[in-house]
Amino acid sequence: MKTWMSTLAAGIIGGAVVLAATHFLTPQLSAVDTLKTGSKNLYAQEAGYFGKPKAPFDFTEAAAKTMSAVVHIRSKSSPVGAGGRGMADDDFYEYFFGGRGGGVQEGIGSGVIIRKDGYIVTNNHVVKDATSLEVTLYDKRKYKATVVGTDPTTDLAVIKIELKEDLPVLDLADSDEARVGEWVLAVGNPLNLSSTVTAGIVSAKGRNIHLIEKQGSIESFIQTDAAVNPGNSGGALVDVNGKLLGINVAIASQTGRYEGYSFAIPANLVHKVVEDIIEYGAPQRGFLGVGIQDMDSDLAKEIGTDITNGAYIDRVTAGGGGESGGIKIGDIITEVNGKSIESSAELQEIVGRGRPGDSYAITVNRKGAKKELTVKLKR
């Protein structure tokens, strides 16, 4: 973990510890020059860009839709052990403040209302070890929240507040359809600044940054350059229509502050995990029962193929779904359910959206020959 901190210093962006050291997280504001275009109708792309409507630089409608559905989360946790470590990420705290003593620890993060009856999705690390949670809505009303369930393998959690009225929710975007270069907004509560909106583009998809150190973890993040900082964890990444594209989770940084690289959990995976937690109390995971690694030019040369994209099978579990479905060591998975597979991270995400018993149509390249297989996921 310490080695990772050198390249992903902030690592987990939420659960920013406030305590008496909150002033360290308060941004220093300064005047900047303002660029005026002289026109309110400045567009990023012409109509017909990838078959989508043109995207204006004026994101007011998307921001307005999103802000009312994004909440501020404050957690409290009891100290653990002599170091007094509580909810906030240990390395994150030590990186900023050094060792800490006992006493109740507090942390901040964000969340997104996903059901009108008070269900909220956030990151697992925002609520981990919390003894109490307080949610502040966009209109500044505050409510106590309870944890419905968590999934450390995706760093997602669902919490709930109780109130009689319906709450605003965000429609889900199809994160599979997100394109590199399209505009996105990040909405959350960075550095304890409530209801903050930043804009950027999708920089990459299917990123595995080895952040979640859990067996069976799923990392296929959407990378963006929208400004994200500690406290944004659990907040929304939305498209220009104000639809939820992902849940912000991490930044790549050597300083702990935004340096242009932020990551979000794709909405399609979020939806599946949230539905599982609400219905069953925990994620229902199905597995292929195979070991995989990314294809690249070096591996392609080693095994004698010209295929450089896909997921290479280096292990097949006896009795697993993969073995039953005919997957063999040396196969290269190139498609799942008709979707092209570029990396092992993409494969993990798609499989992670399935449940035990679900069947997947899998295309493999086996020694140069294309094979169509049907594999049923197992526990």
Q: Parallel, antiparallel, or unpaired: how do β-strands 339-340 and 183-188 relate?
A: unpaired
Q: Which residue among the candidates 89, 155, 276, 331 is catalytic per the annotation? A: 155
Q: Which residue among the candidates 175, 203, 233, 344 is catalytic per the annotation? A: 233
**Token output for 222:** 């959407």
Q: How many CB atoms lie within 10 A of CB 162?
A: 10
Determine phi and psi for 60, rounding to 5 degrees: -60, -40
Whole-angstrom distance, CA of residue 112 vs CA of residue 25: 23
Q: Which residue among the candidates 72, 75, 89, 125 is catalytic per the annotation? A: 125
Q: How many CB atoms lie within 10 A of CB 370?
A: 10
Whole-angstrom distance, CA of residue 316 vs CA of residue 3: 31
**Token output for 202:** 């999708």
Whole-angstrom distance, CA of residue 4 vs CA of residue 16: 18
Whole-angstrom distance, CA of residue 178 vs CA of residue 138: 27
Look up 129 and say whether it is catalytic: no
Determine phi and psi for 345, rounding to 5 degrees: -65, -40
SS3 240: coil
Look up 262 and say whether it is catalytic: no
The residues, ordered by sequence, that sit 6+ positions from 72 with a Cβ below 8 Å of its Cβ are 108, 110, 111, 135, 136, 189, 194
Whole-angstrom distance, CA of residue 261 vs CA of residue 241: 23
Whole-angstrom distance, CA of residue 321 vs CA of residue 36: 59
Residue with tokens 């020059």: 33
On the CB side of 247, how many CA atoms lie within 13 Å of its CA? 35
β-partners of residue 76 are 106, 132
DSSP state of 170: P
Whole-angstrom distance, CA of residue 344 vs CA of residue 291: 10
Look up 233 and say whether it is catalytic: yes
Residues serving a catalytic function are 125, 155, 233
